[in-house]
């Protein structure tokens, strides 16, 4: 996985862009299934695992502290993101400096 590479879910409409690649190899998942390259012609099929049905939000960054991966939601979907089975967390926005 390289920065800027685009991926899609195999089980829902979600799409994502890798912002920061993982430090070690692993599997990016959406809805409990491994993601596919955006250029893959396969249409979403199958069912979303109930434990991975939290959804992907467009424009939100998702990260995993252990692997260092960071992805950006490019298209919303019903499946939630995980890396090697660990759920990705929405990255908090950086606070702006106070202007007094």
**What pLDDT, in 10s, does the model give residues 6-48?**
999 989 889 999 999 998 888 999 988 889 998 888 878 788 8
pLDDT higher than 80, residue 99: no
Long-range contacts made by residues 72-76, C-beta under 8 angstroms, separation at least 24? 72/16, 72/17, 72/19, 73/14, 73/15, 73/16, 74/6, 74/15, 74/16, 74/17, 75/8, 75/13, 75/14, 75/15, 75/16, 76/13, 76/14
Report the pLDDT averaged over residues 45-72: 88
pLDDT higher than 70, residue 96: yes
Q: What is the pTM of this model?
A: 0.83
pLDDT at 80: 92
């Amino acid at each position: 996985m390289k920065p800027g590479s685009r991926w899609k879910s195999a089980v829902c409409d979600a799409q994502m862009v890798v912002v920061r690649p993982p430090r070690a190899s692993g599997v990016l998942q959406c809805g409990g299934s491994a993601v596919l390259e955006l250029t893959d012609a396969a249409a979403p099929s199958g069912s979303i695992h109930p434990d991975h049905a939290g959804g992907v939000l467009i424009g939100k960054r998702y990260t995993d502290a252990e692997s260092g991966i960071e992805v950006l939601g490019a298209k919303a979907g019903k499946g939630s993101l995980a890396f090697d089975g660990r759920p990705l967390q929405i990255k908090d926005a950086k606070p702006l400096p106070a202007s007094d």
